[in-house]
């Protein structure tokens, strides 16, 4: 079974600075997808960024980018120019391209933005 590990329960960053959230995963598969979801205080789950395992190029969405290291099974999220609205729980998630396709989530990292 796949597992996703987020080793940083909490992180904080000064507004306008850059922060990196870590995620590692364990799988024996070669074809899968990785995601970062954001959960603000409203508790809504919002997709931040996605990465296809067969693509070597790291995904980027505006101020959000990932560092995907397939061999190391690492998938970190970098947030540049942090804004107050970025304060949230961030969940890393794995999804196989086979079988039942359920998302497996990490335990989350709570990000605080310091004004």
Partner 1 sequence: DSGVTQTPKHLITATGQRVTLRCSPRSGDLSVYWYQQSLDQGLQFLIQYYNGEERAKGNILERFSAQQFPDLHSELNLSSLELGDSALYFCASSARDRAGYGYTFGSGTRLTVV
Where do contacts with partner 1 occur on this chain (CB under 8 A)?
A: 33, 35, 37, 42-47, 50, 52, 91, 93, 95-97, 99-108
Q: Under a CB-based contact definition with an 8 Å cutoff, are residues 39 and 31 in contact?
A: no
Nearer to partner 1, 21 or 106 (CB): 106
Q: DSSP labels for 19-49?
A: EEE--EEE-S-SSEEEEEEEE-TT---EEEE
Q: Measured from the CB of residue 31, what is the shortest distance to partner 1 in angstroms?
A: 10
Residues facing 77 on adjacent strands: 21, 66
Q: Measured from the CB of residue 42, what is the shortest distance to partner 1 in angstroms?
A: 8
Q: Measured from the CB of residue 111, what is the shortest distance to partner 1 in angstroms?
A: 14
Question: What distance in Å separates the CA atoms of residue 20 and residue 13, rounded to the nearest whole number?
Answer: 10
Q: Measured from the CB of residue 14, what is the shortest distance to partner 1 in angstroms?
A: 24
Nearer to partner 1, 24 or 104 (CB): 104
Nearer to partner 1, 79 or 89 (CB): 89
Nearer to partner 1, 14 or 102 (CB): 102
Rg, Å, the chain Cα set? 14
């Amino acid at each position: 079974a796949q597992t996703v590990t987020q080793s940083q329960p909490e992180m904080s960053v000064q507004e306008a600075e850059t922060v990196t959230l870590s995620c590692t995963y364990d799988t024996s598969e070669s074809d899968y997808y990785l995601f970062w979801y954001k959960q603000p205080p409203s508790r809504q789950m919002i997709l931040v960024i996605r990465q296809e395992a067969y693509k070597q190029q790291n995904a980027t969405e505006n101020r959000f980018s990932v560092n995907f290291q397939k061999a190391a099974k690492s998938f970190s999220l970098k947030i540049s120019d942090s804004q107050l609205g970025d304060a949230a729980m961030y969940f890393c998630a794995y999804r196989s391209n086979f079988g039942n396709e359920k998302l497996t989530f990490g335990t989350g990292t709570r990000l605080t933005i310091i004004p």
